[in-house]
Structure 1
């Protein structure tokens, strides 16, 4: 609408009429005469408001056609992995399920904007699954054979403090808050807050024993951890005395 209207007439000839005294619309020199119907009111108003439309050259539409050659392409699940960067990110998430965005950014050699764009693109086409937990977005490959309980546990094991607490409770079923805090070398308040979170997830069960509250691992999560232990190589460390949790956190399937 903001284009400057430009008109270029090949030739116009104006001369006095020679049909004086005759009925308007009659042929003067044998030319073909055709009556022109008046334009509709809506078209008259449109052309009055936007006169540029009457003289805009067709060349002004060429940029619209050129937009198709600028690399625009609708991304869908079938062609999303044509990008080498997205393929690498997807392989990384498959090997490291449950990592949150900031940790992926720290370990993947991409800028924040580029990584965010590719992650959101793969999420929108159904290649990635996200879980929001404690204010952080954790990523899994869509369709990965993890149950909801396994996903909860994998996310918890990605946190070093939670991993140490889960390990301690697994090895010492029925331990109280003070015992756990001493063994994992964390403050009692910190351990209490983490255990409350694990209780909400259903990972830990609390049972009062007089003035002491003792914690055990839920049976279903104990089975999951045992299954993980059989699929992992020993990786003993101070934070992992059992040797069944890998330094990276969890196994991939």
Structure 2
């Protein structure tokens, strides 16, 4: 004979621990089964409340058995109305949510306002679906001082790759990175001339790129030159060959 599994024993005890307080917290009224006194001279009995544990044993057992069944019926009722728990398995069954996920998948690093504009969706609706996608681990969210950006969350992008994709979505930064790919060890003025922006603007972009380890700097006298580490340069080259739509 197989021993009774410990798991079922523990589960039964836990279930009773949950049910008994729930049932015993209720107040029960006990009264006579007759509408009038048994004999003309007998006094009517006034119904009085009694604690759960003072009830007959068969009543206690009946309550303990019926409560799980009642809970099950409640769950089935809500399921019948179409209300169900959202999980990673069914989160994309909702059409609008699936469209948002697909757009993020095709546009990694897109920011909130860009996503709202491209999908022509109200911000409140978009935030609601994005939050569900994040909770169910369908998307990854990258936040900085300037913006919140979204990526497919299936191990597709490392943190470094997320940073790179974020910068490639900005037109000016993308041009700067393209210059650095073609001409390593270029100076600030050379970048400004090639991209068509001011020197201070180049410095602002380069500071952000350096903080995220996308570029390195080398000082030669009074001149600072910039370059991209080889592994990063290879990844950027692949992304530039497969254009990423720029939206800031």
Interval of TM-score (by shorter of Structure 1 and Structure 2): 0.5 to 0.7
Distance of aligned partners of 1:38 and 1:189 in 2 relative to their CA distance in 1, 3 Å threshold: closer
Residue aligning to 2:194: 183
| Counterpart in the other structure of 1:101 | 112
The Cα RMSD (Å) is 3.6
Task: List per-residue Cα deviations over 1:1-24 (Å, max 9, x = no partner).
Answer: xxxxxxxxxx9769x9637xxxx8
Whole-angstrom distance in 2 between the partners of 1:173 and 1:74: 53
* Gapped regions of structure 2 (runs ≥ 5): 1-33, 55-74
What is the total number of aligned residue pairs between the two structures? 194
Give me the whole-angstrom Cα distance separating, in 1, the residues matched to 2:179 and 2:110: 22
* TM-score, normalised via structure 2 length: 0.66
Distance 2:50 2:244 in 1: 79
Normalising by the residue count of structure 1, what TM-score does the alignment of the two structures yield?
0.65
Task: Please say which of residues 136-145 and 68-77 is displaced more in the overlay.
Answer: 68-77
Answer 1 or 2: which has greater helix percent.
Answer: 2
Aligned partner of 1:248 among 231, 245, 248: 245
Alignment check: 8 A CA contact 2:107 2:244 kept = no
Partner secondary structure for residue 77 of structure 1: coil
Cα contact 2:217–2:225 (8 A) shared by 1? yes
1:47-196 equivalences under 5 Å are 71-196=82-207
Residue by residue over 1:33-63, the C-alpha shift from the partner in whole angstroms, topping out at 9 and shown as x without a partner, is: x9x98846xx9xxxxxxxxxxxxxxxxxxxx
- Distance (whole Å) between structure 1 residues aligned to residue 91 and residue 230 of structure 2: 40
- Mean Cα displacement is larger for which, 145-154 or 208-217? 145-154
> Counterpart of 1:116 in 2: which secondary structure?
helix
CA distance in 1, matches of 2:208, 2:230: 17
Are residue 18 (structure 1) and residue 41 (structure 2) matched?
Answer: yes
Cα offset, 1:226, TM superposition: 3.0
